[in-house]
Amino acid sequence: MALLEVENLQTHFRTPDGGVNRAVDGLSFSVEAGETVAIVGESGCGKSVTSMSILRLIPEPPGQLAGAIRFQGKDLLKLSEREMRAIRGNDISMIFQEPMTSLNPVLSIGQQIGEALRLHQGLSKQEAEAKAVEMLTLVGIPAPAKRVREYPHQLSGGMRQRVMIAIALACNPKLLIADEPTTALDVTIQAQILDLMRDLKHRVGAAIVLITHDLGVVAEVAERVIVMYAGRKVEEAKVAELFRSPKHPYTQGLLGAVPKLGSSLDNETERLAEIPGLVPSLKEKIQGCVFASRCPKMTELCREVPPALEEKAPHHVAACHYAEREAIAA
């Protein structure tokens, strides 16, 4: 049994004008224990909403969740709010994109790390602080015994993200959801945080769902990739396989938009490829393929019939009528 199984997840939002925004529309994927799975896609494709849905942090209403999110076989969507609270920060925890604003400015670092420990493990104030110092050491913050009494404004962005990681890992979660954990940081700090996450993953043994739009990050840390577009999964494969042979035209477009070392920028013919057009509005039900309006290979069929997710190569699925299918070994 997989650690996390998301099945036909639909996260819809009622809009004030009476419409429905289908932020996530029929998403299925699974995560094995200890595995790192990346979810990639551009802004607004539903990847953050997916992560918030797993922890049920979507306000309902206006949000509305359907489908199933099975964690260790239990459907999280069927749990009461109280049962869900016992899971948040304990079995499943989360790191957010904005380290500058994700920490409470008026509570000390120690209090914020200790909170989850006191909630889920019933530690006393002193025990929680001792454990917080231990966690700060683990995430590589110098002078942890001093830092534990300090406040977020006394730390830099990279330090704050380390604190966020310490909070998330405090209770030894089985699943860590990292929503763009390095996007707001500068490049050298990004590399440090990624190294830290990789290192801790081995030590703690947690599975990671990494939400990102940065394919460089994906290549560095993930084992499997899910490509999302307009609230749906359009492709899924092992990282090496996806980079070697992307099947979906959208994935091909994404990879084409990444600059390569050695390519010169002043040469007009070597301009970075871009995907023309805009992400479709999620307010209307899309008839055919979600990517049709921007796809270079689009035909009449694409406008009419939504392509099914098919295995185009071993353990490599894509939703496209025209992606070539490789011989699948038995």
Partner 1 sequence: MFAYIIRRILATIPVMAVVALFVFSLLYLAPGDPAAVIAGDQATPADVERIRAGLGLDRPFLVRFGEWTWNIIRGDLGVSIFTNLPVSRMIAQRIEPTLSLMVITLFLAVIIAVPMGVVAAWKSGGWIDRAVMAFAVLGFSVPVFVVGYVLAYYFALGLDWFPVQGYTPISQGFGPWLSNLVLPAVALSSAYIALIARITRATMLEVLQQDYIRTARAKGAGQRTILFLHALKNAAVPIVTVIGIGVALLIGGAVITESVFAIPGLGRLTIDAILRRDYPVIQGVVLLFSFVYVLVNLLIDLSYTLFDPRIRY
In the complex, the residues that contact partner 1 under the rule CB under 8 A are 55, 57, 85-90, 93-94, 96, 98, 101-108, 115-116, 119-120, 151, 153, 164, 167
Task: Compute CA 254 distance to the chain's CA centroid, rounded to the nearest angstrom.
Answer: 17
Task: Compute CA 115 distance to the chain's CA centroid, rounded to the nearest angstrom.
Answer: 24
Between 108 and 252, name the residue whose CB sits nearer to partner 1. 108
Q: Give the contacts of 26 (CB within 8 A, at least 6 positions apart).
A: 8, 9, 10, 67, 231, 232
Q: How far apart are CA 21 and CA 19, in angstroms?
A: 7
Between 164 and 290, name the residue whose CB sits nearer to partner 1. 164
Per the structure block, which two tokens stand in for 105? 């400015």
- The length of the chain is 330
Q: How far is the CB of 33 from partner 1 (least distance, A)?
A: 21
Between 185 and 286, name the residue whose CB sits nearer to partner 1. 185
Q: How far is the CB of 104 from partner 1 (least distance, A)?
A: 4
Among all chains, which residue has been given the structure tokens 């925004």?
21
Between 98 and 220, name the residue whose CB sits nearer to partner 1. 98
Q: How far is the CB of 11 from partner 1 (least distance, A)?
A: 16
Q: How far apart are CA 307 and CA 179, in angstroms?
A: 28
Strands 316-318 and 232-238: antiparallel
Residue 269, classified by CB atoms within 10 Å of its CB into exposed (0-12), middle (13-18) or buried (19+), is exposed
Q: How far is the CB of 58 from partner 1 (least distance, A)?
A: 11
**Residue 274: count of CB within 10 angstroms of its CB:** 9
Give me the amino acid identity at 295.
C
Q: How far is the CB of 170 from partner 1 (least distance, A)?
A: 9
Between 94 and 313, name the residue whose CB sits nearer to partner 1. 94
Cis ω on the peptide bond leading into residue 144 (within 30° of 0)? no
Between 8 and 101, name the residue whose CB sits nearer to partner 1. 101
Q: How far is the CB of 188 from partner 1 (least distance, A)?
A: 24
> CA-based Rg of the chain, rounded to a whole angstrom?
21
Q: How far is the CB of 137 from partner 1 (least distance, A)?
A: 20
Between 109 and 319, name the residue whose CB sits nearer to partner 1. 109
Q: How far apart are CA 158 and CA 181, in angstroms?
A: 10
